[in-house]
């Protein structure tokens, strides 16, 4: 199964679990890029489309792109007015300088080459337009990583960019001038074991095994509260201005 197929298989679970965590980082990005009503905005790696909805509510003219057909179906269903296309950080299906603003939440780490992905994002921003990236902070700030570790997956390869100053370094490598950066906490409230398992596995598509359900529930014991679980996590975000003379 390709990566896009794995995300497609996970899409409906993602939409009702971890896909709901984009709101706080999304709000931070909207503020950090000083979004103005009517601006043309692209969300790269838009997934099931929650941030597209938020951008529409902020009165942007919205476009989204994702390689996963299953994610795109959901994104189009909840954002019928948006221009949603298949593609990704490797090659964005728009001409140079199409957008006022480009954003990505929890997606740039899947580019393979994050610097190359950021350059491709900058290409489709008009000269002097803005770019905003939000991603998980480093592992020690995220309770969800404790649970994911129980699945025994491969280590994250984007740790350098998840630490304080990481996104700022990434921006500098693509000639993007920093406007603002920060960190937001994102609590994941989970009502029951079934939602916990579906949510964790939706963020690790393709990692299901016969032992994974029990391992997830066992690893989440420290986060039990009266009405389920609360996992405290953090996202780092950065906003910057693209070169005026690219
Ligand atoms: C963790 S989900 C995040 C989705 C959405 N941004 C959100 O916050 O809910 C990662 C998304 O990135 C997409 N993706 C994977 N590889 C990508 C690439 N090379 N370029 C753009 N998006 C990619 C996946 O299909 C998936 O929808």
- Tell me what pLDDT residue 152 has: 78
Give whole-number Cα distances, 170 to 57, 159, 173, 192, in Å: 29, 12, 5, 38
- Tell me what pLDDT residue 138 has: 93
**Mean pLDDT value across residues 18-41:** 98
Cα torsion for 101, 112, 24, 35, to the nearest 10°?
0
Work out the pLDDT band at 159, boundaries 50, 70, 90. Answer: confident
- Tell me what pLDDT residue 16 has: 96
- Tell me what pLDDT residue 74 has: 98
Work out the pLDDT band at 61, boundaries 50, 70, 90. Answer: very high
Superfamily for 3-138+154-185+232-241? Answer: Vaccinia Virus protein VP39 (3.40.50.150)
Q: Is 42:124 a contact under the CB 8 Å cutoff?
A: yes
- Tell me what pLDDT residue 160 has: 82
Which residues have a Cβ under 8 Å from the Cβ of 217 and sit 6 or more positions away? Answer: 193, 196, 197
Closest by CA to 133, choosing from 96, 158, 98, 97, is 158
- Binding site membership of 45 for ligand 1 (Cβ less than 6 Å): yes
Sign of CA dihedral 44, 176, 37, 187: positive
- Binding site membership of 124 for ligand 1 (Cβ less than 6 Å): no
- Tell me what pLDDT residue 25 has: 98
Burial 203-224 (b: 16+ CB within 10 A, else e): bbbebeeeebbebbbebbeebe
State which ligand 1 atom lies nearest to the alpha carbon of 67: 25
**Mean pLDDT value across residues 161-165:** 93
pLDDT, tens digit (0-9, with 9 covering 90-100), for 113-129: 999 999 999 999 999 99
Q: H/E element holding 235?
A: strand 228-241
- Tell me what pLDDT residue 150 has: 85
Task: Give me the residue spans of the domains in the chain.
Answer: 3-138+154-185+232-241
Ligand 1 centroid vs 211 CA: distance in angstroms? 26
pLDDT, tens digit (0-9, with 9 covering 90-100), for 211-240: 789 999 999 999 999 999 999 999 999 999
**Mean pLDDT value across residues 30-59:** 98
- Binding site membership of 106 for ligand 1 (Cβ less than 6 Å): yes
């Amino acid at each position: 199964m390709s990566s896009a197929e794995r995300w497609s298989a996970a899409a409906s679970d993602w939409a009702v679990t971890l896909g709901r965590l984009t709101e706080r980082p999304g709000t931070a990005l909207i503020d950090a890029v000083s979004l103005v009503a009517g601006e043309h905005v692209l969300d790269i790696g838009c997934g099931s489309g929650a941030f597209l909805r938020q951008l529409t509510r902020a009165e942007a003219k919205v476009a989204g792109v994702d390689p996963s057909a299953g994610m795109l179906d959901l994104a189009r269903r909840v954002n019928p007015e948006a221009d949603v296309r298949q593609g990704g950080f490797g090659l964005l299906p728009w001409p140079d300088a199409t957008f006022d603003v480009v954003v990505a939440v929890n997606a740039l780490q899947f580019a393979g080459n994050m610097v190359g992905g950021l350059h491709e994002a900058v290409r489709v921003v008009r000269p002097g337009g803005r770019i905003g990236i939000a991603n998980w902070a480093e592992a020690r700030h995220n309770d969800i990583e404790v649970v994911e570790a129980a699945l025994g997956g491969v280590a994250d390869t984007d740790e350098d960019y998840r630490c304080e100053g990481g996104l700022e370094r990434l921006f500098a490598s693509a000639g993007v001038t920093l406007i603002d950066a920060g960190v937001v906490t994102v609590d994941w409230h989970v009502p029951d074991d079934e939602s916990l398992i579906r949510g964790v596995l939706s963020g690790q598509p393709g990692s299901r095994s016969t032992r994974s359900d029990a391992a997830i529930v066992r690893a989440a014991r420290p986060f039990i509260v009266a009405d389920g679980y609360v996992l405290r996590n953090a996202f780092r975000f950065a906003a910057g201005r693209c070169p005026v003379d690219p």
